Amino acid sequence: MEEFDYSYKIRKNSMKTSKQPIPEHPNMYMVEKILSKRIVDKNIEYLVKWQGFENDESTWEHIRNLCGVAHLIEIFEKKNENEKNKKNENLVEKTKEKQRNGNFEQGDEVEEIIGICPKNNQIMALVKWKMDKNGVRPHDSLVSTKKFKENEESAFLLINFYEKKLNI
């Protein structure tokens, strides 16, 4: 026995199309999918793509006029939620892009050396950077201690860090 999809809506016969409604129900049309959602005067309306009709014949329908389309609304809402989550993730990524790791090449200045660790046969310093001229503090970052030779003030901070650790 063929399964019948009961997604339908009672519609006015004002459509400019030659498509036929459901044969058993001359005033009902099948819903293909939900395209969008809006709120008008505190009422939820969905943009409905009708089965057998073109996209430009889609109509906004009040939720109470839609029968048996709960599964299609659920699919739409899940898709919509996923798109919102992706937009939020993109916003977070863009915010992260604005923040950057500090480094001497960009003219950043060391505020404090937080720690020292070996990495790739080098001694690395975990550096807390001062705010830049735009009022943005770069992320703390690992910097090779060899880079401190080029900056006298930073080299002094590195020496002080070692002296504190050695209790000199």
pLDDT per residue over 61-93, tens digit each?
988 888 888 888 888 888 888 787 777 777 666
Separation of alpha carbons 49 and 33, rounded Å: 5
Query: Domain check: are 77 and 108 in the same one?
Result: no
pLDDT tens by residue, 141-152: 888 888 888 888
- Classify residue 13: in a domain, yes or no: yes
Query: Domain check: are 108 and 56 in the same one?
Result: no
Retrieve residue 87's tokens: 């937009």
Distance linking the first and last C-alpha atoms of the chain: 89
Considering only residues 97 and 108, tell me which one the structure prediction assigns the higher pLDDT: 108
Separation of alpha carbons 75 and 1, rounded Å: 26
Separation of alpha carbons 95 and 89, rounded Å: 10
Retrieve residue 73's tokens: 């609304």
Query: Domain check: are 18 and 70 in the same one?
Result: yes
> The domain that contains 61 carries what CATH number?
2.40.50.40
Q: 97 pLDDT exceeds 80?
A: no
Residue 59: predicted pLDDT: 92
Mean pLDDT rounded to a whole number for the chain: 78
- Classify residue 151: in a domain, yes or no: yes
Separation of alpha carbons 115 and 111, rounded Å: 13
- Classify residue 133: in a domain, yes or no: yes
- Classify residue 1: in a domain, yes or no: no
- Classify residue 153: in a domain, yes or no: yes
- CB atoms inside a 10 Å sphere around CB 154: 22
pLDDT tens by residue, 23-68: 566 667 788 999 998 988 888 899 999 988 898 999 999 888 888 8
- Classify residue 78: in a domain, yes or no: yes
Which residues, in sequence order, are CB contacts of 82 under 8 Å at separation 6+?
A: none
How many independent structural domains does the chain possess? 2
Separation of alpha carbons 126 and 42, rounded Å: 54
- Classify residue 160: in a domain, yes or no: yes
Query: Domain check: are 41 and 75 in the same one?
Result: yes
Where is the domain boundary, 48, 80, 97? 97
Separation of alpha carbons 128 and 123, rounded Å: 16
Residue pair 65/43 in contact (Cβ under 8 Å)? The answer is: no
Query: Domain check: are 29 and 79 in the same one?
Result: yes
Domain membership of residue 108 as a residue range? 104-166
Report pTM: 0.42
Where is the domain boundary, 97, 120, 144? 97
